[in-house]
């Protein structure tokens, strides 16, 4: 039996595993293109990112898309940087605890889909078709 003294917070690897599972569950044609986006999990966003976004509390940022949305990419001007999504473990865990009514996997999927929306250039209606939280 698991006791409170045996419990540990989900680590970076578990967050990544749950994010990869959420990405794999995206419907086609998005699932294939989503595999091209690099997933990174860190405890918090770098201070420079928070400053650029004018965020003072690192717990307010659960995820971030870094790249050029597919709707803005130009074949004649390739971006040498990979498209990537950052998931911020401590902020996600804090929100998960505050909510108390969703699984960690559901919350990670929600954050991931929101960030994928930036990559794909999805509208709110597009997001709602994939993520029921937007309904």
User: By CB neighbour count within 10 A (0-12 exposed, 13-18 middle, 19+ buried), where does 88 fall?
Assistant: buried
pLDDT tens series, the chain, 135 aa: 556 666 688 999 999 999 999 999 998 888 888 999 999 999 999 999 999 999 999 999 999 999 988 777 776 666 677 899 999 999 999 999 999 899 999 999 999 999 999 888 888 888 888 887 655
Angle (CA) 112 42 102, round 5°: 45
Q: Which domains does the chain have, with CATH numbers?
A: 12-70+79-134 (3.30.2010.20)
DSSP 6: T
pTM above the 0.75 mark?
A: yes
């Amino acid at each position: 039996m698991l006791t409170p003294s045996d419990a540990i917070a989900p680590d970076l690897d578990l967050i990544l595993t749950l994010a990869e599972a959420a990405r794999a569950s995206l419907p086609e044609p998005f699932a294939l293109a989503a595999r091209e986006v690099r997933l990174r999990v860190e405890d918090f966003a770098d201070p420079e990112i928070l400053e650029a976004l004018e965020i003072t509390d690192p717990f307010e940022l659960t995820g971030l898309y870094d790249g050029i949305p597919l709707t803005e990419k130009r074949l004649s001007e390739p971006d040498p940087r990979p498209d990537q999504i950052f998931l911020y473990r401590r902020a996600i865990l804090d929100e998960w605890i505050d909510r108390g009514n969703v699984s960690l996997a559901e919350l990670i999927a929600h954050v991931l889909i929101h960030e994928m929306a930036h990559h794909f250039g999805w509208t709110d209606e597009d997001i709602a078709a994939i993520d029921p939280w937007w309904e």
